[in-house]
Amino acid sequence: MSKKKIIIAAIILIVSIVLALATAIYRSQKAFRCDYDGTRIIPIYEVDIMLKEGKFMRFCSIYCARAWFQGNASRVDAVLVTDEITGEKLDADIAFFVESDVVTVKATQNRIHVFKDKTHALSHARQYNGKLVDNPFKLANARIQRYPQ
Ligand SMILES: [Zn+2]
């Protein structure tokens, strides 16, 4: 093989590697965008909604998930929210929600925060002028009653 052919082969190889990488990066970024408004999802604030038809949708914030949920509640099987202290995913039925002055996702101006522990929820509320709010994702078939009357 001549030098020229080797160089051409090398260029083709490099170009195809770069293309493959670019495609992989593009796909992975696309996978982590909000299904409601396309905002990039920050894992600590992610909300996942499982549908009865077996699919699941992911959202960047409580606001987006709630906006989508309001028109589609009958299709929803379960809502998973993220404890913003540990990053742990938990059922919305057992999470604590606090509305405070702190914005989680700038694009949506979401101010509802999710906590697994009531102590964390209350201390966030105390620090940032917040209050406990109801689970925004009330399912008709809710298994657990969150706030005893
Ligand atoms: Zn969103």
pLDDT in tens, the chain (149 residues): 788 999 999 999 999 999 998 888 776 655 589 999 999 999 999 999 999 999 999 999 999 999 999 999 999 999 999 999 999 999 999 999 999 999 999 999 999 999 999 999 999 999 999 999 999 998 765 554 444 44
In the prediction, which pLDDT does 149 show? Answer: 41
Q: In Å, what is the CA distance from 101 to each residue of 75, 78, 79, 104, 140?
A: 32, 28, 24, 10, 30
Q: How far is the CA of 57 from the centre of ligand 1 (A)?
A: 11
Can you give the pLDDT at residue 138? 85
* Residue 57, phi then psi, degrees to nearest 5: -120, 150
The Å distance, Cα 47 to ligand 1 centre, comes to: 9
pLDDT at 31: 59
Q: Which two tokens stand for residue 138?
A: 């009330």
Helix (H) or strand (E) holding 126: helix 118-127
pLDDT of residue 69: 96
Q: Tell me the three state secondary structure of residue 79.
A: strand
**First vs last C-alpha separation in the chain:** 83
Q: Give me ligand 1 centre to Cα 109, in Å.
A: 10
Cα of 112 vs centre of ligand 1, distance in Å, is 13
Tokens standing for 5?
A: 């052919």
Distance (angstroms) between ligand 1 centre and the Cα of 142 equals 24
Residue position matching structure tokens 């606001």: 63
Give the global pTM. Answer: 0.74
Q: How far, in Å, from the CA of 15 to the mean position of ligand 1?
A: 35
Rounded distance from Cα 82 to ligand 1 centre (Å): 14
Report which of 71, 148, 69 is spatially closest to residue 112, judged by C-alpha positions.
69
- Tell me if 68 sits within 8 A of 49, measured CB to CB: yes
- What is the Å distance from ligand 1's center to 104 Cα? 11
